[in-house]
Amino acid sequence: MSVNKVILVGNLGRDPEVRYLPSGQTVAKFTLATSDSFSDRAGARQERTEWHNIVVWGKQAELCGQYLKKGRQAYIEGRISNQTYEAKDGSGKRYRTEIVAQRVQFLGGRAGAGSGIDEPLDIGGPSDGAAAPMDDEDIPF
């Protein structure tokens, strides 16, 4: 048995980029920043920020594009996916680690950064690269 599960809570580094594939599938991509505080050897307080590449599929992608903005806080639950591709300049292989979101919850964010929604908005549901079947009762508003 194996487990590939990631849970992140952080702030968007940029507005989601929403695209529609020729198949009709919707995909949204954005970055999420998480911060960690620690004391260094001298006892000084330090903060480290990690940037995560997030990919969301289907109806969740559309809702992310509609409600998430740069600076907005979000809860992301998903899995790690590593991509390999050839550099455009022909200089060799490149690697990219992404978090494929299976559940997204919009949280409170910086003032003026959100869509005016102050309450958490949960658009969860599995989306392992395919749109989760949803009907009107599943939409959280």
pTM over 0.85: no
Domains delineated in the chain: 6-35+45-132 (2.40.50.140)
In sequence order, the 6+-apart residues with CB closer than 8 A to the CB of 22 are none
Question: Residue 65: in which H helix or E strand, if any?
Answer: helix 58-67
For residue 133, give the DSSP letter: P
Q: 10-residue block means of pLDDT along the chain (141 residues)?
A: 96 96 95 93 92 96 95 96 89 93 84 44 52 41 35
Closest CA to 7 of 88, 99, 84, 82: 99
